[in-house]
């Protein structure tokens, strides 16, 4: 096993012929005196970063009475569990039933395929179209179990969206009506809390009592909305390219997104199979309609070893999260603002580990549902490529964080708006949509605008100090590292605002750091440690490229 194997592999890491080969890469710096010093700093700083939040989470700490009421009985070493994050709690508590449903799905699919082989006298290995009807049937039952009678609302919205696509076809009205309809549904769902049958007519009131396991269907519908737009836009582009020949060769990940299908492939059954596909319905990852259908038409080679390896990654990540929640109660501390009297170092670690937990609480559901899809033979994009703490570039961060959503944004918003012709304006529009799509709140809108604003320094640095001109200079790596430190501080600020403590909370954090002499001293130490960390990130990426792995994040 190599060092670079720690980062998950994605299809786009294959070598590009335009990039330099391993033989022309810089020699490894790991054995140099400079990087030995960096590794010593890492070995000193990392245990301290773990020890601080563990100390804050001890019953003997003065702030323990402020937050211990949020803790739950734990299962590791007799310690309580911080299960106070409602979003992660809903996933963690339901892992057994989700695993049971996934197992039932795979078992029934296998039985369906066997029955198909027996009744047709052969097995269908060239395509998976015999599974379309199975997927639609299972998905409707799955949604009924999740949302009860509200499955009717979901299907009605899906059929209205399908009607727009099939009616408008290649007309320029197609994208306009598609976006207006889906954004309108997003706002109406939020405004009316998913609607009630009794509001339509009192005779349907009885349907409101059939709620299902998760009656708030409109919360998850944000993910479904992306699939509806994907189908309509892919069909719109397919109609405008009608008559183009299909490729005879195998398609890579990017080609599966952009190469269209014949008109008859954009059928209602294929559409419902895609929009309601059970493994990816609840949380994604997001896959485009074109890519999804290509994987039915030309199944990808899926080895058992790759699926088992992914299962091991998921279980290791789950165990890591369990240890953090049993030893670091930073979510409860954050929720109760139990940081009275804490030092700037302690406050910063509360923020940092909250971000790590945000990363893990998103990574775990995404990897669980992707694992389910992989077991079914569908390969959606990997959502989390790198650890949250292994990012220094704003652009690189968003390529590796919720990657499937980033690919969706690029295909359906960024490129249609002009792409790199106006990077800043298009980024503002894209992140505004991202913020409102997540939640119609000012906190996330502020996050979207902050992220857009924080793109500017990196854009300016790339313009005035392009690597094509200065990368061979001995000072360039160190200047880039200082710029990356600034980037990291900005990104942590934006994500603390959007996903952890909000605008008021970040004001308190900033006041503690910049408003006291102790805070300023701590900031200097943080900048030094981040500089060391960035140098290690740079060299890790160089190591990847020396091994033929090229990631844009």
Give residue 472's region: left, alpha or beta (phi > 0; psi -120 to 50): alpha
Q: Of 328, 324, 160, whose CA–CA distance to 228 is shortest?
A: 160
Give the torsion sign (CA, 45, 539, 254, 459). Answer: positive
Residue 72 φ/ψ, nearest 5 degrees? -120, 160
Rg, the chain, Cα only: 25
Could you count the other beta carbons within 10 Å of the beta carbon of residue 306? 13
Q: How many CB atoms lie within 10 A of CB 495?
A: 21
Are the beta carbons of 181 and 164 closer than 8 angstroms?
yes
Cα 152 to its chain centre, rounded Å, is 28
Considering the candidates 72, 261, 438, 478, report the single residue annotated as catalytic. Answer: 438
Note the Cα 87 to chain centre separation in Å.
Answer: 14
72 classed as catalytic = no
- The tokens describing 486, both together, are 């600034």
Distance separating alpha carbons of residues 550 and 553, to the nearest angstrom: 9
Cα end-to-end distance, the chain, whole Å = 22
- CA separation for the pair 128, 111 (Å, rounded): 14
Residue with tokens 């160190």: 478
**Helix, strand, coil proportions of the chain in percent (round to 5)?**
70, 0, 30
* In contact, 481 and 531? CB cutoff 8 Å: yes
Distance CA 406, CA 412 (A): 10
What's 161-213 look like in SS3?
A: HHHHHHHHCCCCHHHHHHHHHHHHHHHHHHHCCCCCHHHHCHHHHHHHHCCCC
Q: Report the distance separating Cα 164 and Cα 159, nearest Å.
A: 9
Beta partners for 81?
72
Q: Using CA atoms, how far apart are residues 496 and 217, in angstroms rounded to an integer?
A: 28
The H-or-E segment that residue 67 falls in is: helix 64-67
Q: Which residues are catalytic?
A: 438
């Amino acid at each position: 096993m190599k060092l670079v194997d720690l980062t998950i592999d994605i299809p786009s890491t294959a070598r590009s012929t335009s990039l330099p080969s391993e033989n022309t890469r810089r020699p490894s710096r790991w054995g140099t005196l400079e990087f030995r010093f960096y590794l010593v700093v890492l070995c000193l700083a990392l245990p301290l970063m773990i020890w601080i939040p563990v100390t804050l989470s001890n019953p003997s700490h003065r702030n323990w009475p402020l937050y211990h009421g949020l803790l739950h009985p734990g299962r590791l070493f007799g310690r309580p569990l911080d299960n106070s994050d409602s979003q992660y709690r809903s996933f963690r508590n339901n892992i057994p039933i989700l695993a049971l449903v996934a197992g039932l799905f795979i078992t029934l699919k296998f039985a369906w395929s066997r029955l198909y082989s027996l009744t047709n006298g052969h097995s269908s290995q060239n395509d998976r179209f015999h599974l379309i009807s199975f997927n639609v049937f299972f998905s409707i039952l799955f949604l009924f179990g999740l949302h009860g009678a509200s499955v009717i609302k979901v299907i009605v919205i899906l059929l209205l969206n399908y009607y727009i696509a099939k009616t408008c076809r290649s007309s320029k009205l197609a994208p306009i009506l598609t976006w207006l309809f889906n954004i309108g549904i997003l706002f109406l769902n939020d405004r009316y809390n998913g609607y009630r049958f009794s509001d339509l007519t009192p005779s349907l009131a009885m349907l409101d009592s059939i709620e299902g396991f998760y009656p708030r269907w409109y919360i998850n519908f944000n993910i479904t909305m992306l699939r509806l737009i994907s189908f309509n836009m892919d069909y719109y582009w397919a109609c405008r390219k009608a008559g183009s020949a299909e490729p005879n060769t195998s398609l890579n990940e990017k080609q599966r997104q952009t190469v269209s299908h014949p008109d008859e492939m954009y059928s209602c059954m294929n559409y419902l199979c895609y929009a309601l596909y059970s493994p990816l319905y609840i949380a994604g990852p997001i896959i485009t309609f074109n890519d999804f259908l290509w994987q039915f038409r030309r199944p990808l080679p899926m080895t058992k070893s790759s699926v088992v390896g992914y299962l091991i990654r998921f279980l290791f990540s789950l165990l890591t999260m369990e240890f953090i929640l049993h030893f670091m109660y930073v979510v409860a501390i954050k929720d109760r603002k139990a940081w009275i009297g804490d030092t700037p170092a302690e406050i910063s670690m509360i923020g940092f580990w909250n971000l790590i937990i945000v990363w893990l609480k998103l990574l775990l559901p995404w990897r669980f549902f992707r694992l389910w899809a992989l077991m079914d033979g569908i390969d959606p994009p990997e959502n989390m490529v790198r650890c949250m703490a292994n990012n220094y570039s704003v652009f690189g961060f968003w390529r590796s964080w919720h990657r499937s959503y980033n690919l969706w944004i690029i295909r359906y918003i960024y490129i249609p708006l002009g792409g790199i012709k106006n990077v800043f304006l298009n980024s503002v529009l894209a992140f505004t949509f991202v913020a409102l799509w997540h939640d119609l709140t000012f906190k996330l809108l502020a996050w979207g605008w902050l992220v857009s604003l924080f793109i500017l320094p990196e854009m300016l640095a790339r313009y005035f100090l392009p690597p094509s001109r200065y990368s061979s200079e001995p000072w360039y790596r160190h200047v880039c590292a200082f710029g990356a430190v600034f980037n990291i501080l900005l990104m942590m600020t934006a994500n603390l605002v959007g996903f952890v403590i909000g605008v008021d909370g970040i004001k308190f954090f900033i006041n503690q750091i910049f408003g006291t002499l102790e805070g300023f001293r701590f900031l200097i130490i943080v900048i030094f440690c981040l500089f060391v960390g960035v140098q290690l990130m740079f060299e890790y990426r160089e190591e990847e490229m020396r091994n033929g792995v090229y990631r844009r994040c």
